[in-house]
Structures are given as structure tokens and as C-alpha cells.
């Protein structure tokens, strides 16, 4: 076993009505440590920030440098422009890096163009109060002089004709003459998006009505679904309004920079190549784990909490290689023909302990406790889960435990594992126990070699990027 | 099958009649009378969306004394018609259309064969949309369209008639997006080649 260094605390996260009262972090428990992503993969470049302490000036400087090369001539004095931001960006490293990029875009547009009607549109997932929470926490009302509105999948829609037929977007996202796609590049649900034109996904999710989101998830496979956001972006409706894109760039180390351009396809190629090399290595390292307990310990939905820059959902599904496009189905709602529900799960995941996370609130975890025992910490949190209409069956199978220490202990015992990994929003390091740290260190070199020599060339070739 | 443990309730007096709860209700459980909302507990499927949406914070979810169990059992619809409808829509009968209640496509199809005429009636009959209310919508709309239902969207913005699926992508679109795995995924999800576009004008 390694000598145990104390674990680093994760970035602070935004309190919310959609989650339980904030609890102390698992990283502060005895027996927890942090393993540096840079120690696992020395080839990863450095980050501007991993979120633990955000140098806002550095983010602003990177944004200004990237935006300097963007043609903003479409933004005239007669125009109004919506900066479109998506909720998941505010879950990355505490949200401040993304928030600073969004604010800097506005400042640069004001400086470089005669356009003065600059609005922020906050695309949220499902809760009607999410946008107000985000706006207040990150000071957007002040930064945008009150020109801030939220939008979600249940808001009024607008019909958009595309090459694959009509689709429906949220009208409020496009109620200006122009829009700016202010994005983040977290590969996030790589088991759905497969890193196939991921930079476009907002056009069929964040900015889209629920019908469009449903078509993407439920009436296409997770490879063929990539046609929908591209068809939307390429539509006359959007191209007539599109100004440029600005994307917060990340790796498992943290924020690596900002990429801004009028050419979103070009941005996407750069992101895809970079992600396959970095997140691809982390994904395959997680796939080496043959037994473990995972702990949710963050301020957003459990699927989307990070550890070493990868969301929990990756661990849940990486018994398949999400980046290998020869694998037709990784996850998804269309599922395998003949399968009543996609029970396919990573059997290495022997238990999930929920210390803190947003309760379902629109994210179904219904099938998870069928295959991975779930332990909910505290009666109050259990009550919230029991009342969650999105997961009506979950508490029939999940177990309530009094403390997170109890939850971890019973999950390890019943799961016959000595390894614990914590999803607490961390980039640049993984919060875990000593057994997991030793395991990851022992396997990283082999993964590095396999990805570099075999998998990465294949993944790139499958996407025409070799 | 869905077991509904909660029902929406409200304090009527301060209701402003803004209608926002009605628009997000998936099962037509809310009606507006004299600019006041009224909830039909027999139709409420407990999604809680109205409570979250209410700008006056005058709605809440109450636990039902007796859970409401809703389902369309296999013997409530002619199986051959159900299977034919699913095949016409190009949806596997076993797929969980609602991933919150795990309601399979076969049950959605049975509800339509039995007589449900729109998305709200399907939701009230099966409990689909009692959870997230998002991912199940397009397959249900597609089954309704395949059954010949009136796809005129209701007043407001409850839903829009979007049913495009893998089987509807035209040859022209496939040429424009040759790396979209359309043909490859069709073989995966329809190895026997039995599914067709929903409309004649969608060239395969």
C-alpha cells in the first residue's frame, strides 16, 4: 500500500433546491487520498485550473485570446444576440470557469461590435427553478444587466426544417437575430454521444424541446443519433442566426483553454482528437477496474459527477468501449433488439453509496439498483428519493444507511471489494482509498501503451481523423 | 404498469389562472375554470411538474392514501393489432418506452389499440410521462401517428407532432451525412428488414 496522503477537497458546488442539504465531503474522511491524473498519465498537458481554486483572470485571458481570432462582423448595431449557455457547464469544476467564459464573451462582443442587445439564455435541464439558481449564484443578472432568461424542454417551441425533416427547438433560445454557441467540451455521456460530433449535441438537447430530445434518445441508435444535431445546426434557420462558437476546453487535468471560431466543425475535430487521447485513456483505465464501490458526493445529478474528469456514468457503462464505433450499442434507450430494458451494466461496480447528489429530478436511475446495490445516506435523503417520481422503484431496492462511513463499509463487505472511488466533481485527481490508488497506478502504464499504440489510431480512423 | 403514490394538490384561492400548470400536465389532470386550476386526482399521474412550474408556489404533492395502479394488461387489446401497430411504427415491442416506469412499447401500443386517442390519454392509461416526461414522448407519438391518430398539436405548447425515426431518413439526407451510421444502425435494430418509413414520401 502507498503511504496515504490526505485527499484534496473537490471544488465547491452550488447549493440547490433540487438537492439535499450539503454534507461534509467524503474526501475529508480518514482513509481517503487523492491520486493525481498527471501521475497516472504524464503525457497530459497542464491545466489552467482544476477548479480547486479558479484563477478567473486566467480564464478571461484565455477567452479573450481565443475570441481575438473570431469574425464578429455579423453582429451589427441592428442585431440582438443570445449567448446560449447550457446547464452542465455550471457543474464543471464548480461552474466558475464556464461562467467566466460566458461573461467574457459578452464583454468582447461589446468591445468589438456595435451590437448592444446582448442577452444570456440559460438552457437548463428540467427544473423550472434551475435557471434562477444559476443566474443568482454566478452573478449573471448583474453581468448581463438583467438580460437573462432561462429556457427548458417544456417551454414554447419553434419548428425548424432540416435535412431529416422538421424538428422543434425552444423558441426563447432563438428570439434574437443572432446566437452565440457558448459551450463546454466535457465528453460527458460518451456512451450516448460516442464522441461523434459531440460539439453539436446542444442543438438537439439543451436548445431543444423534449420531443426532439426524445427522438434523439429513443428513436435512433447512439451512433445514428449524431445526424440530428448536425441537421439542426446546418438548417437555414440556425445558419441565418449563427454568429460563432466559444468552447471551454478540458482534459481530465482540468480546464486547458478556450477554443473559439466561426467554424464549429473545425472546433469539433480538434476536440474529438484531443479527447480520444486523454479521456480515452482515462476511460480505459476505469475499464481496468474489476471490482469497486463508487460514492456520489457532489452537487449535481449522480450520473454527471466527475472523478478525474470522467462522469460516473462512464464507470457505469464502460464494460463496453464507448469510443469504438464498431460496437453498435453501448447504452441508450433504443437498446438491443429484444431486450426489455438495458440492464447491461458494468459488473465491476459492486455498490453505489449516495452521500450527496441531486435527487433524480428528471434523471431516471430506475434500473441501476437492479444490478448495483445502492446505499442512500440518511433518512431525509431517502425520503427525497422515495418522493421522486422519476425513480418510483428505486427505494424498493435501495438501502438507507445512517452515515456515509456505514454505507461504504457495508457496500465493500457485500460487494467483496477493497476499492472505493469517489465522484465528487474532481478534475486533475481522483478521490479514492489507498487500494484503489494503488490499483490505478499499477495499471496506468499498460493502458497508456494500449491506447497509444492500438486504440487511439483505431478511434481516430473511425472518425476520419487519422 | 405504473404505481402512482402521489397526487398534486393546490391552494385554489391565490391561483392566478396563469395556466402554466395545465400546459405541463402530461395527463390532462388539470383544468382551468374561472381562472382557477382544478386537479382531477383520478387522472393525476404524480409527475410533480405542475408543482415545480407554479410561479406562485401554491401547489404540492400529497401522498395518496391508496396508490393508484394503472396499466393496460395484455388481455385488454387484440395482440395481433398491437404487434401490427408496433411493426408499422418500427418499434420493438420489448423496448422500455418510459425509462422511469419501465413501461414497454407493447403496453403503449395496447393503450392505443384499446382506444387512447392522444398523448394525454396514453399517459393517463399507462403512467408513462409520470417521471421525467421527456424520453418516452417520441415513441408514443409515433405509435399514435402509426395508428392514424389526429396529430394536430393541442392549443398552447403541450407537445408538437415529432415522430422522425431511424427508418424515415431519406436517401438524400444519408448522402449528405454519410458518416451518420444510418444504414449500419438499421441493420442492428432491424436485422430482418421489416421496418419502413411511416410516410410514403420518406424515401428509404
Cβ neighbours of A126 in B, within 8 Å: 132, 134
Strand partners, A351: A293
Q: CA A455 to CA A466: how far, in whole Å?
A: 12
Residue B204: per-residue pLDDT:
46
Substitution target from A206, A226, A332, A364 for chain B, most B beta carbons within 10 A: A364
Cβ neighbours of A156 in B, within 8 Å: 157
Helix (H, G, I), strand (E, B) or coil at B65: strand
Query: What count of CB pairs under 8 Å joins A to B?
Result: 179
Contacts with A207 (C-beta within 8 Å, 6 or more apart), sequence order: A84, A123, A151, A169, A170, A173, A174
Q: CA A253 to CA A284: how far, in whole Å?
A: 16
Phi and psi at residue A196, to the nearest 5°? -105, 100
Q: Does A273 touch chain B (CB under 8 A)?
A: no
Cβ neighbours of B99 in A, within 8 Å: 333, 341, 364, 366-367
Q: Does A272 touch chain B (CB under 8 A)?
A: no
Identity of the residue in B46, B142, B182 whose CB atom sits nearest the CB atom of A389:
B46
Query: Does pTM top 0.90 for this prediction?
Result: yes
Residue A342: per-residue pLDDT:
54
Residue A336: per-residue pLDDT:
53
CA separation (Å) from B192 to A329, A404, B142? 18, 50, 21
CB A428 within 8 A of CB A36: yes
Identity of the residue in B101, B166, B191 whose CB atom sits nearest the CB atom of A219:
B166
Residue B68: per-residue pLDDT:
94
Residue A343: per-residue pLDDT:
52
Interface of A with B in 137-156 (CB under 8 A): 153-156
Q: Does B163 touch chain A (CB under 8 A)?
A: yes
Lowest mean pLDDT among A34-38, B25-29, B34-38, B90-94: B90-94
Cβ neighbours of A231 in B, within 8 Å: 173, 177
Give the angle subtended at the CA of A32 by the CAs of A26 and A38, to the nearest 5°: 105
Q: Is the Cβ pair A389, B130 closer than 8 Å? A: yes
Q: CA A49 to CA A257: how far, in whole Å?
A: 9
Give the pLDDT band of residue B202 (cuts 50, 70, 90).
low
Q: CA B138 to CA A228: how far, in whole Å?
A: 14
Q: Is 90 exceeded by the pLDDT of residue B115? A: yes
pLDDT, tens only, A371-388: 889 999 999 999 999 988
Q: How far is B34 from chain A (nearest CA, A)?
A: 24
Q: How far is A137 from chain B (nearest CA, A)?
A: 20
Residue A357: per-residue pLDDT:
93
Which cell numbers hold the place of B97?
418506452
Residue A157: closest C-alpha in chain B: B157
Substitution target from B2, B137, B172, B191 for chain A, most A beta carbons within 10 A: B137
A238: number of Cβ within 10 Å: 19
- Full DSSP string of A254-319: EEEEEEEES-HHHHHHHHHHHHHHHHHHHHHHHHH--SEEEEEEEEEEGGG-EETTEEHHHHHHTT
Residue A19: per-residue pLDDT:
85
Q: Is the Cβ pair B164, A126 closer than 8 Å? A: no
Q: Does A76 touch chain B (CB under 8 A)?
A: no
As a whole number, mean pLDDT of residues B52-71 equals 95
Q: CA A289 to CA B180: how far, in whole Å?
A: 32
Contacts with A158 (C-beta within 8 Å, 6 or more apart), sequence order: A168, A169, A170, A171, A174, A237
Helix (H, G, I), strand (E, B) or coil at B10: strand
Q: How far is B40 from chain A (nearest CA, A)?
A: 18
Substitution target from B4, B71, B105, B138 for chain A, most A beta carbons within 10 A: B138
Identity of the residue in A219, A392, A463 whose CB atom sits nearest the CB atom of B101:
A392
A2: number of Cβ within 10 Å: 11
Regions in chain A scoring below 50 on pLDDT: 337, 340
Q: Is the Cβ pair B95, A223 closer than 8 Å? A: no
Interface of A with B in 314-333 (CB under 8 A): 325, 328-329, 333
Cβ neighbours of B49 in A, within 8 Å: 154
Q: CA A257 to CA A165: how far, in whole Å?
A: 36
3-state helix, strand, coil in chain B (%, to 5): 35, 15, 50
Q: Does B132 touch chain A (CB under 8 A)?
A: yes
Interface of A with B in 173-232 (CB under 8 A): 196, 209-215, 217-221, 223-224, 226-227, 230-231
Residue B94: per-residue pLDDT:
83
Residue A264: per-residue pLDDT:
98
Q: Does B12 touch chain A (CB under 8 A)?
A: no
pLDDT, tens only, B137-192: 999 999 999 999 999 999 899 999 999 999 999 999 999 999 999 999 999 999 99
Q: Does B26 touch chain A (CB under 8 A)?
A: no
* CA neighbor of A160 nearest in space, from A232, A92, A102, A223: A232
Q: CA A63 to CA A260: how far, in whole Å?
A: 8
Amino acid at each position: 500500500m502507498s503511504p496515504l496522503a490526505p485527499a484534496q477537497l473537490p471544488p465547491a458546488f452550488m447549493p440547490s433546491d433540487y438537492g439535499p442539504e450539503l454534507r461534509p465531503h467524503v474526501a475529508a474522511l480518514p482513509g481517503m487520498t487523492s491520486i493525481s491524473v498527471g501521475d497516472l498519465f504524464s503525457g497530459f498537458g497542464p491545466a489552467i485550473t482544476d477548479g480547486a481554486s479558479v484563477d478567473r483572470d486566467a480564464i478571461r485571458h484565455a477567452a479573450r485570446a481565443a475570441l481575438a481570432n473570431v469574425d464578429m462582423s455579423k453582429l451589427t448595431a441592428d442585431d440582438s444576440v443570445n449567448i446560449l449557455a447550457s446547464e452542465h457547464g455550471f457543474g464543471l469544476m464548480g461552474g466558475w470557469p464556464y461562467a467566466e467564459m460566458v461573461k467574457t464573451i459578452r464583454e468582447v462582443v461589446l468591445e468589438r461590435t456595435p451590437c448592444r442587445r446582448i442577452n444570456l439564455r440559460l438552457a437548463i435541464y428540467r427544473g423550472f427553478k434551475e435557471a434562477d439558481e444559476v443566474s443568482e449564484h454566478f452573478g449573471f443578472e448583474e453581468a448581463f444587466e438583467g438580460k437573462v432568461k432561462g429556457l427548458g424542454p417544456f417551454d414554447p417551441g419553434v419548428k425548424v426544417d432540416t435535412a431529416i425533416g422538421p424538428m422543434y427547438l425552444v423558441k426563447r433560445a432563438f428570439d434574437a437575430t443572432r446566437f452565440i454557441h457558448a459551450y463546454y467540451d466535457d465528453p460527458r455521456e460518451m456512451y450516448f454521444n460516442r464522441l461523434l460530433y459531440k460539439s453539436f449535441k446542444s442543438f438537439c438537447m439543451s436548445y431543444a424541446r423534449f420531443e426532439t430530445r426524445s427522438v434523439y434518445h429513443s428513436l435512433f441508435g447512439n451512433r445514428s443519433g449524431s445526424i440530428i444535431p448536425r441537421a439542426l445546426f446546418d438548417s437555414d434557420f440556425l445558419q441565418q442566426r449563427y454568429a460563432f462558437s466559444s468552447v471551454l476546453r478540458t482534459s481530465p487535468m482540468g480546464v486547458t483553454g478556450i477554443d473559439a471560431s466561426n467554424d464549429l466543425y473545425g472546433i469539433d475535430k480538434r476536440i474529438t482528437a484531443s479527447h480520444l487521447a486523454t479521456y480515452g485513456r482515462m476511460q480505459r483505465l476505469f475499464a481496468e477496474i474489476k471490482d469497486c464501490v463508487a460514492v456520489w458526493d457532489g452537487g449535481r445529478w449522480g450520473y454527471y459527477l466527475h472523478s478525474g474528469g470522467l462522469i460516473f456514468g462512464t464507470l457505469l457503462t464502460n464494460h463496453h468501449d464507448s469510443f469504438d464505433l464498431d460496437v453498435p450499442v453501448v447504452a441508450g434507450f433504443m437498446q438491443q433488439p429484444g431486450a426489455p430494458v438495458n440492464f447491461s451494466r458494468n459488473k465491476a461496480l459492486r455498490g453505489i453509496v449516495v452521500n450527496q447528489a441531486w435527487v433524480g429530478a428528471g434523471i431516471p436511475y430506475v434500473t441501476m439498483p437492479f444490478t448495483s446495490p445502492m446505499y442512500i445516506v440518511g433518512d431525509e435523503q431517502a425520503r427525497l428519493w422515495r418522493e421522486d417520481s422519476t425513480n418510483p422503484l428505486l427505494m424498493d431496492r435501495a438501502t438507507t444507511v445512517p452515515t456515509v462511513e456505514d454505507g461504504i463499509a457495508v457496500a465493500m463487505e457485500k460487494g467483496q471489494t477493497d476499492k472505493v472511488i469517489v465522484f465528487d466533481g474532481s478534475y486533475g485527481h481522483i478521490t479514492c482509498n489507498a487500494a484503489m490508488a494503488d490499483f490505478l497506478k499499477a495499471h496506468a502504464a499498460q493502458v497508456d501503451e494500449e491506447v497509444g499504440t492500438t486504440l487511439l489510431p483505431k478511434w481516430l480512423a473511425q472518425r476520419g481523423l487519422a | 404498469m405504473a404505481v402512482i403514490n402521489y397526487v398534486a394538490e393546490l391552494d385554489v384561492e391565490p391561483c392566478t389562472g396563469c395556466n402554466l400548470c395545465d400546459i405541463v400536465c402530461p395527463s390532462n389532470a388539470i383544468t382551468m375554470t374561472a381562472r382557477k386550476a382544478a386537479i382531477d386526482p383520478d387522472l393525476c399521474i404524480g409527475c410533480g411538474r405542475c408543482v415545480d412550474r407554479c410561479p406562485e408556489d401554491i401547489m404540492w404533492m400529497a401522498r395518496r392514501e391508496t396508490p393508484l395502479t394503472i396499466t393496460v394488461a395484455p388481455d385488454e387489446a387484440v395482440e395481433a393489432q398491437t404487434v401490427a401497430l408496433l411493426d408499422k411504427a418500427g418499434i420493438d415491442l420489448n423496448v422500455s418506452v418510459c425509462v422511469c416506469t419501465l413501461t414497454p412499447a407493447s403496453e403503449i401500443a395496447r393503450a392505443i389499440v384499446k382506444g387512447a386517442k392522444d398523448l394525454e390519454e396514453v399517459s393517463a392509461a399507462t403512467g408513462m410521462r409520470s417521471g421525467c416526461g421527456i424520453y418516452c414522448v417520441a415513441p408514443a407519438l409515433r405509435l399514435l401517428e402509426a395508428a392514424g391518430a389526429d396529430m394536430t398539436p393541442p392549443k398552447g405548447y403541450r407537445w408538437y407532432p415529432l415522430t422522425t425515426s431511424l427508418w424515415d431518413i431519406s436517401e438524400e439526407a444519408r448522402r449528405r451525412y454519410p458518416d451518420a451510421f444510418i444504414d449500419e444502425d438499421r441493420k442492428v435494430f432491424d436485422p430482418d428488414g421489416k421496418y419502413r418509413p411511416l410516410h410514403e414520401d420518406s424515401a428509404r
